[in-house]
Amino acid sequence: MKRTQAIELPEEEIAKQKEWMAAFAALEDRPHTYCVVTYGCQMNAHDSEKLAGMLEEMGLEPAAERTAADFVLHNTCCIRDNAERKALGNVTWLKEVKKERPDMLIGVCGCMIQQQEMAQKLLKQYPFIDVAFGTGNLYRLPEYLWQAVSNHERVIRVENEASTLAEGLPIHRESDIKAYITVMYGCNNFCSYCIVPYVRGRERSRRADDIVREADELVKSGVKEIMLIGQNVNSYGLDSDEGVSFAQLLHRVSQTGIERIRFMTSHPKDLSDALIDEMAHNPAVAPHLHLPVQAGSNRILQAMNRRYTREQYLEKVQKLRAAIPHIGLTTDLIVAFPGETEAEFEDTLSLVEQVRYDSAYTFIYSPRKGTRAAEMPGRIAPDVASARIERLIALQEKITGEVLASMRGETVQALVEGVSRRRENQLTGKTGRNINVNFNGAPDDIGKMVRVRITGAGSNTLRGEKVEE
């Protein structure tokens, strides 16, 4: 069933913002350096690359550190309370820096700003913030910064433009060998604990041709690995008239000649047999899948509005491992969801033992205002929540160690990303399963895909030796 279709911003609107960029660059009395501070997920990281791209088109250069920048922009996350508090704490810390450097401009953008009442809070409680805007109008940064600088006014804008797609913005990519491509924005799932649909809007898919064109340009520039990102990439195309599924999109992107494709995040309920088949038979697609389960109890999954059961999830895992025997699976897990009993927590532990993930992101439930779960009774005591997550982490660490140890003797493809942080005479790379591997190699191997024989394992990394061709 077709859902609400995204509206692509007209070229005239993007051209207007580029005019603001050029006009700002021509100003004499303006900021000359910037720093973008990023919180949260890959979507935010890629948004920050676009923000940096626009700032550089406006004549700003990256500063070595926040305190040296003329303009500091915080791209925020609100998925959990601690992420929000961390962002606001760092913004407040800059207040003291600004006293010494009154010409410094401070900006806040992203998911946190898109929440109800946050703009008013910033206006009243954070008067030292100069610019603030939400996810729906990120592309208007040049206009807002112009207003702040030329008119000497605070610019706080949170506009509901979440149904739009902005194409053609400049991007400053953090890596020459790996790159993000956003394939869709927003989420329609409304998990009871999650604020994302409220701050990122409903699902909007980019045109397949635009995605493939971007991938092709990246390949020609020397990029070896592309990660396709979205809040739920498995839903790609369901809001569009194009008739291109995510599995079909993967195939099209692989035809650009890219050496490795990753993607995240996948919702288990939408993981199709067609996608599993594409992963199994397309050598460019990495044998890794991040498949958030969140909990092992059917009652908790229902309360979370995840729309699958434990049994259905495990059936998907079985299909994946039958089709791709060496696939690496990772996941997200929430403990201490409202009303979670000890037995239900044990269900999560038993699922982790059964699946045996390569690794897992584990979180204590964080209530988010405006979500259904925030109103649910049965809040778990902090000491109980802490004890549960410690048990979960200990179990997953044990499994991760065993999984890595079992890989000794295997030969894997690794994309060499740079020099090891711990040993300057070693290189570090990522395997197809998204595991770090350290090995001896030459500097000219950086940026290449090489074969590595695994010789050992640490707690969360592999050791190996390069296999000469």
Class of domain 322-406: alpha beta
pLDDT at residue 422, as a whole number: 79
pTM of the model: 0.93
pLDDT at residue 79, as a whole number: 86
8-state DSSP, 251? H
- Cα(25)–Cα(59) distance, rounded to whole angstroms? 5
pLDDT at residue 3, as a whole number: 46
Contact 370/415 with Cβ under 8 angstroms? no
Report how far Cα 191 is from the mean position of its chain's Cα atoms.
Answer: 18
For residue range 9-33, list pLDDT tens digits in order: 888 999 999 999 999 999 989 999 9
pLDDT in tens, the chain (469 residues): 344 455 678 889 999 999 999 999 999 899 999 999 999 899 999 999 999 999 999 999 999 999 999 999 999 998 888 888 899 999 999 999 999 999 999 999 999 988 878 878 887 899 999 999 988 889 999 999 999 999 999 999 887 655 568 888 999 999 999 999 999 999 999 999 999 998 888 899 999 999 999 999 999 999 999 999 999 999 999 988 899 999 999 999 999 999 999 999 999 999 999 999 999 999 999 999 999 999 999 999 999 999 999 999 999 999 999 999 999 999 999 999 999 999 999 999 999 999 999 999 999 999 999 999 999 999 999 999 999 999 999 999 999 999 999 999 999 999 999 998 877 789 999 999 999 999 998 899 999 999 999 999 999 999 999 998 7
Same fold, 175-286 and 322-406: yes
- Cα(174)–Cα(157) distance, rounded to whole angstroms? 27
- Cα(238)–Cα(349) distance, rounded to whole angstroms? 34
Quickly list DSSP for 324-349: -TT-EEEEEEEES-TT--HHHHHHHH
Contact 113/73 with Cβ under 8 angstroms? no
Q: CATH number for 411-466: choose from 1.10.3470, 2.40.128, 1.10.10, 2.40.50.
A: 2.40.50
For residue range 318-336, list pLDDT tens digits in order: 999 999 999 999 999 999 9
- Cα(334)–Cα(90) distance, rounded to whole angstroms? 26
CB within 8 Å of 426: residues ≥ 6 apart: 419, 420, 438, 439, 440, 441
pLDDT at residue 163, as a whole number: 55
- Cα(255)–Cα(189) distance, rounded to whole angstroms? 31
pLDDT at residue 4, as a whole number: 47
pLDDT at residue 122, as a whole number: 82
For the chain, give every domain's residue range. 7-163, 175-286, 322-406, 411-466
Strands (E), 267-408: 288-290, 328-335, 359-364
pLDDT at residue 7, as a whole number: 64
| CATH code, 7-163 | 3.40.50.12160
Q: CATH number for 175-286: choose from 3.30.750.210, 3.90.245.10, 1.10.275.10, 3.40.140.10.
A: 3.30.750.210
